[in-house]
Chain A
Amino acid sequence: MARFNDSKAPCGFRLTGVAATYDASGLEALRGVSLGIEPGEYLAVVGPNGAGKSTLLQVLAGLVEPSRGTVTLDGIALRNHRRRDLARRIAWLPQRLDPAFDITVEGLVALGRTAHRSLWGGDDDADRRAIDGALAATDTTEFRDRLVQELSGGERQRVALAMSLAQAPQVLLLDEPTTHLDPAHAQGLLDVVARKHRDEGLTVVAVFHDLNLAALAAARVVVIDGGEVVADGPPADALAPTVLARTFGPVMHAVTHPVAGVAQVLPARAPLAL
Chain B
Amino acid sequence: MERAFSPPPLAISGTIRWPRAGRFPSFGLTFALACALGLAIVAGVGWGTVPIAPSLVARVIASHLGLGAITVDWTAAQDAIIWQVRLPRVIGAVLAGAALATSGALFQGLFRNPMADPFVLGISSGAAFGATLALLVGPATGLAAIGILAPTAAGLQAMVVPVTGAIGAVATAFGVFRIARRGSGFLLTDLLLAGFAVGSMLTAATTAVLVLNDQMAVRLRLVFSWLAGGIAVNGWGHLAVAAPVVLVGLVVAYGLAHWLDPLVLGEAGAASVGVPVATTIRVTLATGAILAASAVTLGGLIGFVGLLVPHMLRRLTGPSHRRLLPACAFGGGAFLVVADLLARIVLAPVELPVGILTAMVGGPTFLMILRRARRAA
Contacts and interface: CB of A to CB of B under 8 A. Distances in A.
Contacts of B259: 114
B276 A84 contact: yes
A185 interface: no
Interface string A92-118: 101001111111100100011011010
Contacts of A86: 274
B2 interface: yes
Interface in B144-184: 183
A115 B264 contact: no
Contacts of B318: 103-104, 107
Contact of A24 (B6, B265, B277): B6
Q: In terms of DSSP, what is the predominant structure of the interface of chain B?
A: loop
A122 B320 CA distance: 12
A64 B255 contact: no
A35 interface: no
B18 interface: yes
Interface string B68-80: 0000000000000
Nearest to A94: B269
Interface in B302-356: 318-320, 322
Interface string B260-278: 0111111011111111110
B272 A101 contact: no
Contacts of B276: 83-84
Contacts of B274: 83-84, 86-88, 114-115
Nearest to B2: A83
Contacts of B275: 83, 87, 114
Interface in B12-29: 12-14, 16-21
B243 to A, nearest CB: 23
Contacts of B269: 94, 97
B272 A87 contact: yes
A78 interface: yes
A62 interface: yes
B258, B265, B276 pick with most chain A CB within 10 angstroms? B265
Nearest to B7: A23
A104 B261 CA distance: 13
B3 interface: yes
Contacts of A88: 274
A58 B5 contact: yes
A65 B271 contact: no
Nearest to B275: A114
Nearest to B23: A145
Contact of B4 (A64, A100, A112): A64
A101 B262 contact: no
A130 to B, nearest CB: 12
B273 A102 contact: no
A111 B269 CA distance: 10
A117 B264 CA distance: 18
B21 A147 contact: yes
B112 interface: yes
A79 B4 CA distance: 11
Interface string B218-230: 0000000000000
Given A22-B6, A101-B264, A102-B319, A63 B272 contact: yes
15 contacts: A22-B6, A64-B5, A80-B1, A87-B271, A87-B274, A87-B275, A100-B12, A101-B112, A103-B264, A104-B21, A107-B21, A114-B275, A120-B258, A147-B21, A163-B273
Given A63-B271, A99-B14, A112-B273, 6 more contacts: A62-B2, A87-B273, A87-B274, A101-B264, A102-B319, A115-B274
